[in-house]
Amino acid sequence: MNTAQDILHSVFGYATFRPPQDRIIETVIEGGDALVLMPTGGGKSLCYQIPALARTGCGVVISPLIALMQDQVSALRLLGVKANFLNSTLDPATARQIEQDLLEGDLDLLYIAPERLTQERTLQLLGRAPISLFAIDEAHCVSQWGHDFRADYLQLSLLHERFPHIPRIALTATADARTRTEIISRLDLGEAAQFIAGFDRPNIRYRITLKHNAKQQLLRFLKEEHPRDAGIVYCLSRKKTEDVASWLQEQGYNALPYHAGLPASVRADHQSRFLRQESVIIVATIAFGMGIDKPDVRFVAHLDMPKTIEAYYQETGRAGRDGEAANAWMIYGLQDVIKLRQMMESSEGSLEHKRAEQQRLNAMLGLCEITSCRRQALLNYFDDELTENCGNCDTCLEPVDTWDGTEAARMALSAVYRTGQRFGVAHLVDVLRGAENDKIFQSDHHQLPTYGVGKALDNNQWRSVFRQLVARAYLSVDMERFGALRLEEKCRGLLRGEENIQLRRDVKTKTGSKRQTKSNLPTDIDIALWEALRDCRRELAEEQGVPPYVIFHDRTLQEMCTELPQSLSQFGRITGVGERKLDKYGSSFLQVIEQHLSAA
């Protein structure tokens, strides 16, 4: 029997385990059950793939994401692993052949959709075949908190009854304690060893900036940081995704829209181009993302604010699954706050439900306005702890300036009060700044004591004050009168002078900041060689009908650039190059490197 370490090296081409992979793998190889909670990109797959290769028999992987099975299996085959899948997309003859391979012990790994696994026919088949383990991927699907595959997943408790001696490993990236408890009880995993890695995604850089000209800001972000990268841009409305996508195309980017209103064939085509081509940008509503396993998404940009931190974390989590540097970039502004608050106010549902929604929105707004480390706040929200500042979010990299906004806030609240809580921000700012226009004179607001008291702040500064007051729920938005602001109970302390308030000092644009490299590539990399290696990878991927990252990850190409291997044995030492890929692709890439060196 091969040791786990040997398999890691010879099959996958990796030098060391990422703890706690080693302990998980040891547990399962020895026949124990395990519950694994690791963030996206943490390396969950190896935790069952290696035990499946080390133990006798076939490892059965239960996954709800049928669309991904083909790619997962192709990737394993390129590593020389005998992998296959059984799901509803196969014709009967092919399915029978796969079942035969399974019975003859000719498979290392078999992916099955849960609804197929729980059919009596499949269970009987598995009963006659040599099985090394069951891996239950996306195990949070058993949770009662709204998952599409729940019914099928609930049946999986029968695995324990039907196959009591075969180890089971359940895996998820959903961290909260409630879901964890549910997985354990529903899947009968009371005896399982638990491996709970933190929730943190240290390679993702979180940034939230003020929105002033969304398209130009996005363009600049792409130009400066992701000129040739694949990424996702999220918008709230379908129309906006199409608008932004076509605008990006005009700017020379390979951008495609994606939303639930597009015909299924168009969606499938755009998704497949995103996976299979390089440098594609998907401009999407939240309909895009579930089950997207692309490891080299280098950025997730939000042009509109998500309604909850859960959604924000899930969407940004699609960046950088390969562990390389990635950006989570968002712009937001006063209008987002007002729009979302209004949507909440007017939403259907019980009072209790509304209150819960409000709280979640408040938490999201709080994250936007925070002046301390964003990652700390995020992890805190999920009951995970980070004691130090992360050093990889905007507030850590460029500490935010705060100012004593007590006086300004009091003026703003008083303007709301004196004008009868019937006006939106634009007019309130006019009152404070003493503007002379029709609306002011018609409403007699030039007679108010607050008229013109706020000339010391400019228009943007006042909008910033109002934004922060709404975000922190000192003010609410009236749904009857579009955008009118109202005082909330919370204001009392401020108005009476019993409370002070610190506000964020907004910075409009950050020019000449040193922290940002031009792209995510390390600076010592020769771009010409990098591009040549990418071309080589793309050609091989097209030949084999797989996405480029299945050939080699970016990380592996980067190491080729820095190590410049000149023989097969040197090439074999690059991270991500196992024996099979060395055989198959070594000489092609060596040739590219050699040409590059002789041309230089």
The site for ligand ADP (CB under 6 A) is made up of 14, 17-18, 21, 38, 40-46, 295, 321-323, 553
> Residue 455 burial (CB < 10 Å; 0-12/13-18/19+)?
exposed
CB of 10 to ligand ADP, least distance (A): 14
Token pair for residue 9?
Answer: 């090296």
Shortest CA distance to 72 belongs to which of 549, 496, 395?
A: 549
Sign, CA torsion 570/573/575/580: positive
Is residue 552 within 8 Å of 579, Cβ to Cβ? no
Q: Give whichever of 357 and 394 is closer to Zn ion, judged by the CB atom.
A: 394
CB of 487 to ligand ADP, least distance (A): 47
Nearest-approach distance from CB 570 to ligand ADP, in angstroms: 19
Strand partners, 204: 326
Closest distance to ligand ADP from the beta carbon of 356 (Å): 29
Name the binder of 585 from ligand ADP, Zn ion, none, CB < 5-8 A by kind. Answer: none
Closest residue (Cβ) to ligand ADP?
43
Contact track, Zn ion, 233-272, x by CB under 5 A: ----------------------------------------
Choice between 400 and 592, CB closer to Zn ion: 400
Write the DSSP assignment of 435-458 as a string of letters: --SHHHHHTTGGGSTTTTTTTTS-
Q: Classify 516 in phi/psi space as left (phi over 0), alpha (psi -120 to 50) or beta.
A: beta
For residue 393, state whether it binds Zn ion (rule: CB under 5 A). Answer: yes
Q: Which of 143, 186, 181, 195 is nearest to 36 (CA)?
A: 195
- Identify what 323 binds: Zn ion, ligand ADP, none; CB under 5 to 8 Å per kind: ligand ADP
Residue 129's binding partner among Zn ion, ligand ADP, none (Cβ under 5 to 8 angstroms by kind) is none
Which is nearer to Zn ion, 337 or 390 (by Cβ)? 390
Nearer to ligand ADP, 44 or 240 (CB): 44
Under rule CB under 5 A, which residues in 124-183 are in contact with Zn ion?
Answer: none
CB of 38 to ligand ADP, least distance (A): 5
Residue 259 binds what, of Zn ion, ligand ADP, none (CB under 5 to 8 Å, by partner type)? none
Q: Decide which of ligand ADP, Zn ion, none touches 41; Cβ closer than 5 to 8 Å per partner kind.
A: ligand ADP
Residue 340 sits in the site that holds Zn ion (CB under 5 A): no
Among 255, 396, 487, 577, indicate the residue that binds Zn ion (CB under 5 A).
396
Contact call for residue 208 and Zn ion (CB under 5 A)? no
Least gap, CB of 549 to ligand ADP (angstroms): 8
In contact, 373 and 393? CB cutoff 8 Å:
yes
Question: With respect to Zn ion, which residue has the nearer C-beta, 139 or 396?
Answer: 396
The smaller minimum CB distance to Zn ion, of residues 393 and 409, is found at 393
Euclidean distance between CA atoms 264 and 266, whole angstroms: 5
Query: Should residue 378 be labelled a site residue for Zn ion when binding is judged by CB under 5 A?
Result: no
CA distances from 526 to 153, 253, 309, 531, 597 (A): 48, 23, 39, 9, 11
Q: Which of 99, 157, 144, 104 is nearest to 124 (CA)?
A: 99
Q: What is the smallest separation between the CB atom of 377 and Zn ion, expressed in angstroms?
A: 9
Nearest Cα to Cα of residue 431 among 417, 411, 445, 413: 445
DSSP three-state, residue 300: strand
- Residue 59 phi/psi, 5° resolution? -85, 130
Partner in contact with 393, chosen from ligand ADP, Zn ion, none, beta carbon below 5 to 8 Å by kind: Zn ion
- Three-state DSSP at 107 gives coil
Cα 521 to Cα 530: distance, rounded to the nearest angstrom: 10
